[in-house]
Structure 1
Amino acid sequence: MQRNSKSADARAKRGPIVLVGMMGVGKSTVGRRLAARLDVDFVDADEEIEKAAGMTISEMFERYGEAYFRDGERRVIARLMDGEPKVIATGGGAFMQEETRALILDHALAIWLNADIDTLVDRVSRREGRPLLKGKDPRAVLTELAAIRNPVYALCPIHVKSAAAPHDVAVDSIMEQLSQWP
């Protein structure tokens, strides 16, 4: 596999890279492609949470509420912060939890994938099962969440725009920034 940068490869080999951002920004898709380019494993934190709980995230929200889900999410992400090189995609709210955010910032390189509201609305409309959107106007919810979350996501040391373009454009941007990362 051809790698774009020895520096990016060296950074990935030192520990996890964690992608954070709003639902629909492409964390899982970009994460899989980034992991392939860096020749490291990819882990979707939401999938790991579902495996650990034996139920879907929607079921957790319905049965036990968001606080229960967030506690399980924190425990799973803590387990994933094992120092091994990998790319981890988190759920949109994970980085908003103070303890989870501290784990990520202390034990990984956090990358904020950002997109405009139109792009997010288009992308979330393609997939069911997003508990925070259930029965609500996606544009209104995403706009409100972005106003609250974006200042917190901005604490990530690397920021990448995920535009209404192929996800490889975002991966290229990440690779470029990783090549310049100490």
Structure 2
Amino acid sequence: MEYRNIVLVGMMGTGKSSVGQALALRLNWVYEDTDAAIERTQGMSITRMFAELGEPFFRKVESETIERTLQGRHQVVATGGGAVLAEHNRILMKRSGLVVALKASAETIIERVRSDQSRPLLQGGVEDRVRHIMESRKHAYDFADLHVDTDGKTVGQIVDEICSRLVRERA
């Protein structure tokens, strides 16, 4: 594989973490999750960070984490759903490798995240919040090199699709 890194972007609940781990295993690359890295370096959950320090603080730390992480090589990097909102992050992602956007329907995302209390942007009603966030970000992932729909697919099927499309991209 000729790509320096593969960066997964997409809404929460599209499968970035699950797919990222499986893809890294398939490629024998390192898996990095920027949200997990943020929680490790800050010593607190993202939910708590949002509540106590605010979203602007979180977004600043997120950008710093993405910049540091993307300096590596042969990594599959799962980013937070809102990481693409900062132009600086999008530029870094494109420069560091191949950007793959995972997408799913609102119904699929709602089903996947309904019981997850660790998502600060979902406080106040999952269905309405998911639909609102999807609408506000409907073009946020357009910059990606590949777009993969995860609806009704297993993690293995999604990884197979990404790998087969990577081969075609290089051909």
Q: Deviations over 1:95-151 (max 9, x none)?
A: 1111111111122211000000110000001422100001x2212111121122131
Match of residue 25, structure 2, among 36, 43, 48:
36
**Which residue of 1 is the match for residue 99 of structure 2?**
110
C-alpha RMSD of matched pairs (Å): 1.1
Higher deviation after alignment, 83-92 or 163-172: 163-172
Match of residue 93, structure 1, among 71, 77, 82:
82
Shift of 1:83: 4.1
Are 2:57 and 1:68 aligned?
yes
SS of match in other structure, 1:76: helix
Task: Please give the TM-score of this superposition, normalised by the length of structure 1.
Answer: 0.89
SS of match in other structure, 2:169: coil
SS of match in other structure, 1:152: coil
Q: Which runs of 4+ in 1 moved over 2 A?
A: none
Q: Distance in 2 between matches of 1:83 and 1:166?
A: 28
Residues 105-144 of structure 1 aligned to structure 2 (within 5 Å): 105-134=94-123, 136-144=124-132
Q: Distance in 2 between matches of 1:124 and 1:97?
A: 24
Match of residue 152, structure 1, among 120, 137, 140:
140
**Residue type matched to 2:12 in 1?**
M
Shift of 1:63: 0.7
**Which residue of 2 is the match for residue 168 of structure 1?**
156
Q: Distance in 2 between matches of 1:47 and 1:178?
A: 26
Match of residue 77, structure 1, among 66, 90, 98:
66
**Residue type matched to 2:68 in 1?**
R
Identity of aligned residues (%): 36
Are 2:167 and 1:179 aligned?
yes
Q: Distance in 2 between matches of 1:163 and 1:27?
A: 13
Distance 1:170 1:126, change over 3 A: farther
Q: Which runs of 5+ in 2 are unaligned?
A: none
SS of match in other structure, 1:150: coil
Task: Please give the TM-score of this superposition, normalised by the length of structure 2.
Answer: 0.95
